[in-house]
Homo-oligomer: A and B are copies of this chain.
């Protein structure tokens, strides 16, 4: 039987063998929710890069560019890391270069996997349906916050484990803990995450609307996957 596992932060990724796994990277607030929304709005591809400088270099070559550090957008970029900023005509068929505090690092760290995909509550159903049909083990990689686990990514991991638990075997306690946390939270996710450290951080930035949006399930049938250095919609 295929296995499903959860890695609560990229700092623990070296403990997992991902050569025969599909890695699903998640950064709910807000990198992977933005990416899902971008593809749902017709973006052609997204290039994740590690640094602000690389991102600026792409922008100078004519690409659209998005950057985030510590929940805020540095000056001069085309998107403000709110998923709503991707609901505009200019994204159609565009290539966007993106760097974020946690999410893009998680993607680049996973490159030795069979496939690297991007997950969020917004494309949970599409992702679950796709993964059920594949022959590979699944590792859900939570981007976390500066190396530490966070609540919202763990809850997403639990949601995906719940959707896949009939077809996959749960091997380790991280997956079990994420599943139970989600089962305990799912009837009112918004209240459940309200006291998390990152939500408190985001609320200080005034983006409650983003938070509610990013917790909606199954909004889009998109499957972002890493091909070479760019994410595309499968």
Contact = CB atoms under 8 A, between A and B. Distances in A.
Interface of A: 8-9, 11-12, 15, 145-151, 154, 171-174, 176-177, 180-181, 184, 195-198
A165 to B, nearest CB: 12
A181 B185 CA distance: 11
Contacts of A8: 8, 149
A141 B22 CA distance: 30
B177 A151 contact: yes
Contact of A15 (B15, B148, B174, B196): B148
7 contacts: A12-B148, A15-B147, A151-B173, A154-B177, A172-B197, A176-B195, A177-B181
A147 B177 CA distance: 16
A228 B147 CA distance: 31
B15 A12 contact: no
A26 to B, nearest CB: 14
Contacts of A181: 177, 180-181
Contacts of A148: 12, 15, 172-174
Contacts of A150: 173
A173 B145 contact: yes
A41 B9 CA distance: 40
Contact of A9 (B12, B154, B177, B197): B12
Given A8-B8, A11-B15, A12-B11, A176 B196 contact: yes
Contacts of A147: 12, 15
Contacts of A184: 180, 184
